[in-house]
A and B are shown apart, each in its own frame.
Chain A
Amino acid sequence: MREIIERILPLVQKPGRYAGGEIGSVVKRADEVEVRFAFCFPDTYEVGMSHLGMKILYGLYNTRKEIWCERVFAPCADMEALMRENGIPLFGLESRDPIKDFDFIGFTLQYELSFTNVLNMLDLAGLPVLASEREALSPIVIAGGPCACNPEPLCDFVDLFILGEGEEVNLELSDLYREHKRRGSDKGAFLRAAAQIPGVYVPSLYQVRYHPDGTIQAVIPKDGAPERVTKRIIKDMDKVYYPDQFVVPFIDIVHDRAMTEVFRGCIRGCRFCQAGFLYRPVREKSPDTVCEQTKALCEHTGYDEVSLTSLSTSDYTGLSTLLTDLLDYTEREMVSLSLPSLRVDNFSPELMEKINRVRKTGLTFAPEAGTQRLRDAINKNVSEEEILRTCNTAFDGGYTAVKLYFMIGLPTETMEDIEGIAKLGQQIVNLYYHNPNKPKGKSVAVNVSLSSFVPKPFTPFQWEPQDTMETLRQKQQHLRESLTTRKVQCKWHESMTSFLEAVFARGDRRLGGVMKRAWEKGCKFDGWDDQFLFDKWMEAFEECGVEPAFYANRRRPLDEVLPWDHLDFGVDKAFLIREWKKAQESAATPHCRKQCSGCGANRLIGGACFAKADPGVV
């Protein structure tokens, strides 16, 4: 088998995707470990290798002597064809052993449009895609990541899901598995025991009953499985494991740099943002921890670029202290430091000056909506004044390009809000030309990137219909017509992919059959515009008698049982309803440090919310 792999590698594009052998990759002896774990990212090497969660769990698993965790990515079309032709089953990059012989096959679910790749990878591994047809104890197919918050569409294929943060629960699961493996348990016994671990959801232990109209009547647990499964959360970010080494790829990947996570959660509560609710409450690392971890990573990987990651890095309370300490190191060592996820409301000239000392690239901000009314409705608490001031600061500092992210199809949106995007772009252009400090003789570029809004579970918009594809196209067209300058350039995503994303984001178990059918028709890599087969998907829906608009475009009543209601991510439904109501009134909610809104997530860490404002300062 190994020889055939060597033979086909020279025949494919970028063999470095499949060759292994990178610095930081972990090779153990198969006969010296008890648990072999295939960490699968259902997309290409370049995408998967850029993902921080995989780096954390890969490092964590491999710190345990008895576990060997390997990486697996979705092979590209040329490699897949050669693998199928030569009978090479999907293998782990480190050992090149077939993953069908591993103990765990774990998928990380980062976006809905990667679901068909999960099926395809199981099939490439030589395994039945249906969980019910995999009868042996191993391999156990597990999945986690943000899309596991509504895993229902994948219940036919995956044996169990991990809810929330994985650093503790994954090891508990592995320990339980070792016990069962030694005892010679069967799969059913192991799954029933696993369901008792907090944060583990075993879908086969839950029965879903439907009303005649297709909505859910009830979800009923059996065999002692808990009625509600609550997500896992790490309490102390300074104590939790963080890798001091990454696998350093040979080929160029999407984010090829060291990354240090500065905090989890987000204080903002933007109503469209699923991550902002799923990862609550905010938990920060101390600047010392971030500084040490960053240095260790740079030294062990040899990276000359590091980014400080989080959902909103400029909200980090220790940012100023951290930058002062870290910039001394990064400048001395010729490392460039990047801060993604900056906000317009706290982007100060001081902060810009600090970033400028390292490297000047384009600036990106996300106003998300074109008018103040709509920004209030989605709780994106930035004012037009702040956006303009920030752009001016940037122009003062020598920037000539800004990139702005917007969404269309937001709840309560009107054509006036769409025109607001064009107006805001024009205002920024005008601002540039009125700025006496602008770079001499240079034009300005305002790049507007538009995505279509997809309502997601566990957000205040989880009951909202998505705009139909036709409405979205009309809105795109209207924006195009509202633009009067070429200095503002617009780019948008296809509304068809957003439609499918909306179906699966809030889907239920009946979508499993559709997914299998679509995959059989050749659907995979659905997130890639060049490979997305919308017509095949529509055929699959039709053949299975499932109406996609039921999931994407239907307004749900507030009292409907939602497919994910038996899963608990810490945020109370009552809070989400309060936020939904405020959205209808275009009323904003202050961020967590200004005022606690009582979302309920702090009960997960024992009551004390770290983001909670000092009562003296409020």
Chain B
Amino acid sequence: MQKPIRVWFEKTGPAIYISHLDLNRCMARAIRRAKLPIWYTEGFHPHPYLTFPLPLSLGVHGLREAMDLRLVEEVSFDQVKERLNRCLPQGLVVTGVGEPVKKAKEIAFAAYELTMESKEGDAAALVRQVLDRYSLPVEKKTKSGVKDVDIRPHLQAVSVEGQGTRCVMKVTLPCGPSLSINPSLLSKAVTAAAGMPVELVKTVRLSFTDGQGKLFE
């Protein structure tokens, strides 16, 4: 038997410093500690089969992250959640377990909450002013070299709130195979447009959605 399951989890606190590669190992160890009957690859060096539909960058908080694995024995979703939660390090919490509904390649957008800081003056006003512009050009490093992209048309569901030197921006960014915009690229664009440093002090990925804007399940 091989039953695919999708584990939903939060990655916050000290766990934000676990890189994607390290997360794989960290989860594999937690699964071993939890004695979950996970499917191992069949090769020269068998290893527990784990995939993450959308990797999360180092230092970014995630509130609805996904991990796919396969079980070789029947274990209820509640049991998987409970047993894993007993074995995960601080900052990693399983919030739900279910059957994978959509495929990883269907993911097209991710919603973020970005805390930004500008040492000089009203951060919210500054960021709003920048966002009112028609274009936000920025240099983006791609596999084929550095190129200029205008990210303004790709920002969706933007809102900015806050007082003083800090503000919180909510934004949905593309993260599909054809185009992907990283929040740090956005803050770079904002800094360039504002002409003064706007520092991204906290990045939270809230959820991800498919091409129609429907929640990835």
Contacts and interface: CB of A to CB of B under 8 A. Distances in A.
Interface in B1-48: 13-15, 17-19, 22, 25-26, 28-33, 40, 45-46
Interface stretch (A17-25, A144-152, A581-589): A17-25
Contact of A251 (B13, B19, B45): B19
A545 interface: no
A188 to B, nearest CB: 41
A176 to B, nearest CB: 34
B59 A21 contact: no
B58 A301 contact: no
B89 to A, nearest CB: 5
B159 interface: no
B14 A251 contact: no
A613 interface: no
B131 interface: no
B162 interface: no
Contacts of A302: 28-33, 87
A302 B25 CA distance: 10
Contacts of B201: 7
Nearest to A21: B14
B30 A250 contact: no
Chain B binding site: helix, strand, loop or mixed by DSSP?
helix
Contacts of A334: 40, 46
B45 A359 contact: yes
B90 interface: yes
B32 A250 contact: no
Contacts of B25: 250, 252
Interface residues of B, number: 25
Contacts of B55: none
B91 interface: yes
A557 interface: no
A341 to B, nearest CB: 24
Contacts of B17: 9, 15-16, 19, 250
Interface string B108-120: 0000000000000
A252 B13 contact: no
Nearest to A336: B45
A301 B31 CA distance: 11
A302 B29 CA distance: 4
Contacts of A22: 89
Interface in A247-280: 248, 250-252
B184 to A, nearest CB: 10
Nearest to B47: A304
B87 A250 contact: no
A9 B91 CA distance: 16
B209 to A, nearest CB: 26
Interface of B: 13-15, 17-19, 22, 25-26, 28-33, 40, 45-46, 58-59, 87, 89-91, 201
Interface of A: 7, 9-10, 15-16, 19-23, 248, 250-252, 299-304, 334, 359
